[in-house]
Structure 1
Amino acid sequence: MTTNKINIALCADKNYLEPLETLLKSICYHNSQVHIYIIHTDIPEDWFIKQAQNLAKFNNQLSSIWLSEANPAIQRLNQKIMPNSFAINEIIKKLPNKLKHVNELTYARFFIPELIQEDRVLYLDSDIIVNSSLSNLFHADMKGCPIAAIDDYNLSNENTPHWYVLNTPKELESCISYQGGENFKPYFNAGVILWDLVKCRAENMTSKLLVTALYYSDVLYADQDILNFVLFNRWLRIDVRYNVQAHYNFTFLPFVTKSPWIIHYITDRKPWIPEYKDETIFHPVYHHYKNLTWQSIQEYCSSKN
């Protein structure tokens, strides 16, 4: 990589503005020269204007990617990947989702290689806190892999078999590398993914993901299952501290609990829900960043320079 800039992609809707702003605060607390792209369906323009002003104080940028047929970029994308077919918004509504705490926008990450014209981007779920610099992660050697990620520790555990057996139908053999198998491991968590966008675009990754998702209507973990299916054994495992999944027991890894670099609040028991605010040892960290003012973050960053 020849630049210090870090590109980050997020997906969210207007119901997630509090945790989304908290995530932005945590990013700015530890990072500058960041360009954040938010893919969304309904976040008001005035919210983006306000947050862009906040981020600019840290030499960071914010871009809105409106997932709507009224957006010319979406119109072009629709013609490229699904010509003479359903509109993208209609396609997303048809994709499988059995998780109550996850909405259809989770599939928006499939479009990242086409919507963000960068060489590389770090995708983060919106139920995340950044607790460190992201520079080493973003500029890591991906060793030729399309993505880098971290195991889903609840589903990759040797004693926790995945819920289904997938066999590759002939219709999909030209799209994907995985050819069936019982254990479907290793299995990564899709909340933190470093994308090589150049490689993904060259492989028509967006189309592969969509075709696979439309074929398999029975997957349990929505887009995460599809990503693991299409990218089976083609992802680079990175340090667990870049996706510390809050409800997993990390007591046997004290270096993780002592210094989590990215905290991911998996499951529906989120720290911003009052009854779960102290659910794990990592939940209070969310409130630390939430309660920071933009002014206090600016003062902290100035004191480091």
Structure 2
Amino acid sequence: MNNLTKNEIPIFFSINDQYAPYLSVAILSIVDHASSENHYRIIVLEQDLSEQNKHILSQLGNDNVKVTFTKIKDEDLQKRMAGEHTKLKGDYFTLTIYYRLFIAEMFPQYDKALYLDADIVCNTDIADLYHIDLKGNFLAAAHDTFAADYPQTTTYAEKVIGIPIDHYFNSGILLLDLKKLRDHHFTDHFLNLLNKYHFDIMAPDQDYLNVICRNHTLGLPQKWNTMPTIHGEQVTDPKIVHYALFGKPWHYDHVANEKYFWHYAKHSPYLECINQEKSKFSAADAESDHRHVRYLQRKALTLVDNPITFKKIQEKTGEVSL
């Protein structure tokens, strides 16, 4: 870490144009709670974000919260990855889901960083999360309450990934020790596994992180990643609200903790766009979401019988986890 970055708190996001309105809400919440004693740098990893969206988002910062952009060239990643195996949750195809796995390699000037999904709202100074002592671990993350809500995804985590459901974390909020990840050649290890085995998995970035870092993960209190949940802990004082998967307040009414989103959305330059998105979300769209949930549940169970899973390869070779 050089002198220019040692007092800076780097916060990474990765989005496309579709998610610019929701990132604006996340940025506004970060700025609102930012301390004047800290310097924050929001780094948006993108591939084809429009200049208009870059301009709008960059204007949301202030003197001590800078919003910057780093263009990621897909062709560069595809040269290092098995291109046809870039499956996102629910079989959406994208490379952006993998960006967080390359942060340590791409940004050697930082020894520590935060990665946040764009569908979040911060209710506290994000520096409080950044300054948590990792106690020698590679990363810190909170329990994935969505996976724990359903027996099918619980079985998937334990039988396919090989992680007890109580230790299976969500990768939408990450505190990363980038130096340790570099020192342990995390990126090379990930790419070796990706290209050697082509695991069929549901949440590529999240599952690789869970299994590779299983012995080097610090659990965060759920208040740092509060997601909609049926059976999980009901957090009354969320520090970060994460509108994960289908629990989007810009689609549905009565979403858990929606008040935090709308508190900042009303100040967003994208408010009209957000309202339009909600008004056009139809019953057919809602049914599509329900079908995706059912699809994920079915797929979770079919993957158990695959001959090549993280759990089976780890038990056979011991080469999956660092």
* Same fold? TM cut 0.5: yes
Percent of aligned pairs with the same amino acid: 29
SS at match of 2:172: strand
More helix by share: 2
Query: Given the superposition, is the C-alpha separation of residues 184 and 92 from structure 1 closer, same or farther in structure 2, using an over 3 Å criterion?
Result: farther
Paired amino acid for 2:156:
W
1:166-245 matched pairs, under 5 angstroms: 181=162, 183=164, 186-214=167-195, 215-245=197-227
SS at match of 1:87: helix
Shift of 1:209: 2.1
Q: Are the aligned partners of 1:39 and 1:64 in contact in 2 as well (CA < 8 Å)?
A: yes
Partner of 2:250: 272
Which of 44, 55, 61 in structure 2 is aligned with 1:49? Answer: 55
CA distance in 1, matches of 2:23, 2:155: 30
Which of 274, 282, 289 in structure 1 is aligned with 2:264? Answer: 289
Paired amino acid for 2:223:
R
Which of 1, 10, 25 in structure 2 is aligned with 1:7? Answer: 10
Paired amino acid for 1:280:
V
Partner of 1:106: 97
Partner of 2:282: none
Shift of 1:239: 1.9
CA deviation string 1:230-286 (max 9, x = no partner): 111310012211100123456x65xx22x211000112241112xx1x242312321
Query: Given the superposition, is the C-alpha separation of residues 67 and 220 from structure 1 closer, same or farther in structure 2, using an over 3 Å criterion?
Result: same
Q: Are the aligned partners of 1:96 and 1:217 in contact in 2 as well (CA < 8 Å)?
A: no
CA distance in 1, matches of 2:183, 2:177: 10
Unaligned runs of 5+ in 1: 79-85, 168-179, 295-305
Q: Are the aligned partners of 1:28 and 1:58 in contact in 2 as well (CA < 8 Å)?
A: no
The alignment's TM-score, normalised by the length of structure 2, stands at 0.71
Q: Are the aligned partners of 2:146 and 2:228 in contact in 1 as well (CA < 8 Å)?
A: no
Partner of 1:163: 156
Query: Given the superposition, is the C-alpha separation of residues 156 and 212 from structure 1 closer, same or farther in structure 2, using an over 3 Å criterion?
Result: farther
Q: Are the aligned partners of 1:92 and 1:107 in contact in 2 as well (CA < 8 Å)?
A: no
SS at match of 1:209: helix
Shift of 1:105: 1.2
CA deviation string 1:84-133 (max 9, x = no partner): xx525x64553233415684311111111112231111100111111111
Shift of 1:41: 0.9
Query: Given the superposition, is the C-alpha separation of residues 246 and 182 from structure 1 closer, same or farther in structure 2, using an over 3 Å criterion?
Result: closer
Query: Given the superposition, is the C-alpha separation of residues 280 and 27 from structure 1 closer, same or farther in structure 2, using an over 3 Å criterion?
Result: same
CA distance in 2, matches of 1:66, 1:92: 19
Q: Are the aligned partners of 2:86 and 2:94 in contact in 1 as well (CA < 8 Å)?
A: no
SS at match of 2:12: strand
Paired amino acid for 2:238:
P
Give the superposed CA RMSD: 2.9
CA distance in 2, matches of 1:260, 1:99: 27
Query: Given the superposition, is the C-alpha separation of residues 269 and 153 from structure 1 closer, same or farther in structure 2, using an over 3 Å criterion?
Result: closer
1:73-112 matched pairs, under 5 angstroms: 86-88=78-80, 91=82, 93-99=84-90, 103-112=94-103
Q: Are the aligned partners of 2:34 and 2:126 in contact in 1 as well (CA < 8 Å)?
A: yes
Query: Given the superposition, is the C-alpha separation of residues 263 and 213 from structure 1 closer, same or farther in structure 2, using an over 3 Å criterion?
Result: farther
Which of 83, 102, 112 in structure 2 is aligned with 1:120? Answer: 112
CA distance in 1, matches of 2:93, 2:243: 13
Paired amino acid for 2:85:
K
Unaligned runs of 5+ in 2: 270-322
The alignment's TM-score, normalised by the length of structure 1, stands at 0.75
Query: Given the superposition, is the C-alpha separation of residues 236 and 103 from structure 1 closer, same or farther in structure 2, using an over 3 Å criterion?
Result: same
CA distance in 1, matches of 2:150, 2:85: 33
Shift of 1:217: 3.1
Paired amino acid for 2:169:
F
**2:70 is equivalent to residue 65 of structure 1:** yes
Q: Are the aligned partners of 2:149 and 2:230 in contact in 1 as well (CA < 8 Å)?
A: no
Query: Given the superposition, is the C-alpha separation of residues 269 and 161 from structure 1 closer, same or farther in structure 2, using an over 3 Å criterion?
Result: closer
Shift of 1:54: 2.9
Which of 19, 24, 27 in structure 1 is aligned with 2:22? Answer: 19
Paired amino acid for 1:35:
R
